[in-house]
Amino acid sequence: MPARIILGVGAGIAAYKACELLRRLTESGHQVRVVPTQDSLRFVGAATWEALSGQPVTTSAFQDVHEVPHVRLGQQASLVLVAPATADLLARAASGRADDLLTSILLTARCPVVFAPAMHTEMWEHPATRANVSTLRERGCLVLEPASGRLTGPDSGPGRLPEPDELYQAAVRVLARGVAGMTPDLAGRRVVVSAGGTREELDPVRFLGNWSSGRQGYALASTAVARGAEVTLVSANVSLPDPAGAKVERVTSAGQMRSALLAALDGADAVVMAAAVADYRPETRSAEKIKKTGSGPEPLRLVENPDILRELGTRRRTGQVIAGFAAETQDMLANGQAKLAAKGCDLMVVNQVGQGLAFGTVDNEAVALGADGSVTRVPRGPKEVLADVVWDLVAARFG
């Protein structure tokens, strides 16, 4: 449904990215009022914001005073999204300042508030900024983790504003939660998600793999971010853009995925294994491209890969929640129940694949089986909807 959105813009060079974010929001039918800080207009002028939004732009609470904009705009908003959120703006918001229209709106808003920080690495990592971020999160605001990459000038590191499309997707996920988005229920939780399909090399140009696109795992990651979690996404051979606010670790093979997941397990409250991991790998990998011989190929000898999900189940500490996905082509429930028992996890999400189902699609349907005997059916719908159900089930199992 169309929503009323306040797009706050801080005084950072990344303000130019907010223009594309605004376009995505308005093209989706949302009514967007841009509220910049005074100094941000040095980067992008008011005329640009007015032309793109079709709404008036001001930085002052003393314009159109009869409409009491510093109160009315916050009261009527469905979402306040601040991008970029500079170190100065985070500090003013955390201390409850109300010295311009944007900070006044932040005090009067009774809707979800999302900050997308952007600044140099040293500023992001400074204890003062970290304390301000912690304060805002404790108050129920969603403060995304910045991306890592090229910053202003030659600098590179964490502090980069996520790309506009990823910020748009984060906003969509928060709006979809409505009032629930005001209290991020995964705030303070560290979660690990695996996504994509592993590849096992035969030679430098060939591999054994599967059709997984990573869409379900990425939906799980972006949804967890929107619910306030600190997210590590272990991604195998996925071409999707990084979810805003998630730390992404890229792997290729099952062995690499195992190493990444075991390394992340100790600090995690939950692990959701949505990746399609190869059951087998070639016994040997040819250092050179395998050539045709005219007499047919040599027999391909395979060996089993480690069972990552089962290993996670045996290594986990008390209180951790482990969930797996099972892709099946027949006897879904029977096979899912067997895997749930064999893997030792808390949840097994079973979905049917093949013939245009699940792999590479934007929708999914599944049955979530619980170790406690529960059965939760999720009808076909966007993969983000299934992701929300999975996190509901995970959250219910936290000690």
Q: Do the strands 280-282 and 246-251 form a parallel or antiparallel pair, or are they unpaired?
A: unpaired
Q: How far apart are CA 181 and CA 111, in angstroms?
A: 8
| Torsion angles phi and psi, residue 191, rounded to 5 | -125, 150
DSSP labels, 34-86: EEE-TGGGGTS-HHHHHHHHSS---S-TTSSGGG-HHHHHHHH-SEEEEEEE-
Strand partners, 113: 80
**Active site (catalytic) residues:** 210
Distances (CA, A) of 81 to 8, 86, 157, 282, 356: 6, 13, 23, 49, 36
Residue with tokens 């395979």: 302
Distances (CA, A) of 150 to 28, 159, 252: 29, 9, 24
Helices 308-315 and 332-343: angle between axes, nearest 10 degrees: 40
Q: What angle do CA 13, 14, 19 make, to 5 degrees?
A: 115
Tokens of 133: 């971020």
Closest CA to 364 of 216, 185, 171, 220: 216
